[in-house]
Structure 1
Amino acid sequence: MKTKNYFGNTTKIILSLLAITLTISACKKDFNGGDPIEAAGIGFVHASPGTGALDFILDNQKINSFTYTKDLGYYAAYPGTRLVGVAKKDSLKYLTSGTSILKSGLFYSVFVVDTLKSTKLLVVEDDLKAPETDKAKVRFINLSPGSAALDLAIVGKDAPLFTAKAFKEFTPFTTIDPSDSYSFQVKETGSTEVKVTLPAIKIEKGKIYTIWAKGLKSTTDSTKFGLTIMTNK
């Protein structure tokens, strides 16, 4: 949903912008000194190939800047209906924006997706509950514009880890065994051809990861089709 075209250039709106990386461990006072509230966690991930550096905005205030494939970790935000958006770096005009409902104590990732002319936001709730003992958790998101539905597999395993994810579709977090060197690979659903491999990835017990398909199958530069991984917790 599109909203107003322009926003401010101050950074006062998100609980003094206290960065949070693992859990929201303390309540914060609202600006009027009322009862303590428990924050929500929100993070932005740049997954829009060819778009360039972006500013992310919350409630019409610029918060920080980031480049393609980068994420900024989580920030503490007031729960409720929040206006989120992105703009080209140092511009005061939205590329895209919309509202999202943030709930106390929960975490969200906002992925900037698609190409520059059709930039969109994909808001995903992040389940950061600890994995089972001696396990890890991983999910898969297809963020490659124009791609076919994709399967994600671990090399050496008989069955795919996730199947048939179209552009902007994502899986729940799934428990897997840790490993010092997993190789993940992507195939188009129904095909045996490996499109790309993400090799030698260490998956540690107790941690939570997102693997996402990125880029464009029609390019060969830094925006080409590939896989990347980020640690949610």
Structure 2
Amino acid sequence: MKTTSIYRNLLTGVALVVAAICFSSCKKNTIDPSGQFNIKVVNASPNAGAQSFTLAGNVLVSGGLNFTDASAYITAPSGKNMVSEFKNEGTNSVYASGSLYTANGVSFTVYLAGKGSSARVKNFEDDLAAPNNGKVKIKFIHLSDNAPSDVKIKNSAGDELVSNVSRNIASGYKYVDPGALSVQLVGLASKNVLGNFSFTDLQAGKIYTLYFTDDANGNLVMNQVLHN
């Protein structure tokens, strides 16, 4: 009986610890009142319509963010498990929500992607150190639901720029010459060409994200975001 009592007390203690950990980990919007970070907001969802954006209950974009639109960087309080919400313009109807953990002084771009049950909020940390030697600094993000989950990216000469970028993932940064850039997306497994895209005026010293997604008709498109 004494042994049973010990085990019962031990299990009760474990349950209390687990409950405390769960409560702590589930606590939302833990704000660092002395900290700040920078956030850019992009609407990459073709069917969403104009959106507003809130972070930890604070309205950062009040509306008018249409498909392919990107805000400027906005300074906001940093924190942990901050709830991010895209809302249909002029309403409290949440189109998609996510969470963001960020340290002080960093920069993020948050994207609204997908539609319907696949609508989602994806966050990507940005490196805003300018490229040297007259180069252009770019990264690629896969936000398409219709394209294969894994995609290879080549330049116009057929050289490999990115060996694989998976859905909802960003590539590492690449350095290219300013001016025109043509890229080809190829299914990693099928090796089928998914599309060819051109960007005509990339500026030396600038940083871009080239993200691919689907348009309202389900066709693969690629758009750019300027970061500096």
TM tier relative to shorter chain? 0.7 to 0.9
Structure 1 match to 2:66: 67
Offset from partner CA, 1:143-199 (integer Å, 9 cap, x none): 10142121222212x422112222112112122222x22222212124554322222
Offset from partner CA, 1:200-219 (integer Å, 9 cap, x none): 42222111111111106xx7
* Letter in structure 1 aligned against 2:55: L
Give distance in 1, aligned partners of 2:135 and 2:35. 28
Give distance in 1, aligned partners of 2:183 and 2:71. 24
TM-score w.r.t. length of structure 1: 0.75
Structure 1 match to 2:184: 185
Count of residue pairs the alignment pairs up: 195
Structure 2 residue ranges without an equivalent (≥5): 1-25
Matched residue SS, 2:160: coil
- Which of the pair is proportionally richer in strand? 2
- The 3 A distance-change label for structure 1 pair 94 and 203 is same
Task: Return the match for 1:42 from 36, 39, 42.
Answer: 39
Structure 2 match to 1:155: 156
Structure 1 residue ranges without an equivalent (≥5): 5-29, 31-36
* Letter in structure 2 aligned against 1:78: P
- The 3 A distance-change label for structure 1 pair 54 and 200 is closer
Is 2:59 aligned against 1:57?
A: no
Shift of 1:99: 2.7
Is 2:222 aligned against 1:227?
A: yes
* Letter in structure 1 aligned against 2:130: A
Shift of 1:75: 0.3
* Letter in structure 1 aligned against 2:196: T
* Letter in structure 2 aligned against 1:201: T
Structure 2 match to 1:33: none
The answer on whether the counterparts of 1:144 and 1:214 sit within 8 Å (CA) in structure 2 is: yes
Larger Rg: 2
Structure 2 match to 1:164: 164
CA RMSD of aligned residues (A): 2.4
Matched residue SS, 2:75: strand
TM-score w.r.t. length of structure 2: 0.76
Shift of 1:229: 1.3
Structure 2 match to 1:14: none
Structure 1 match to 2:118: 118
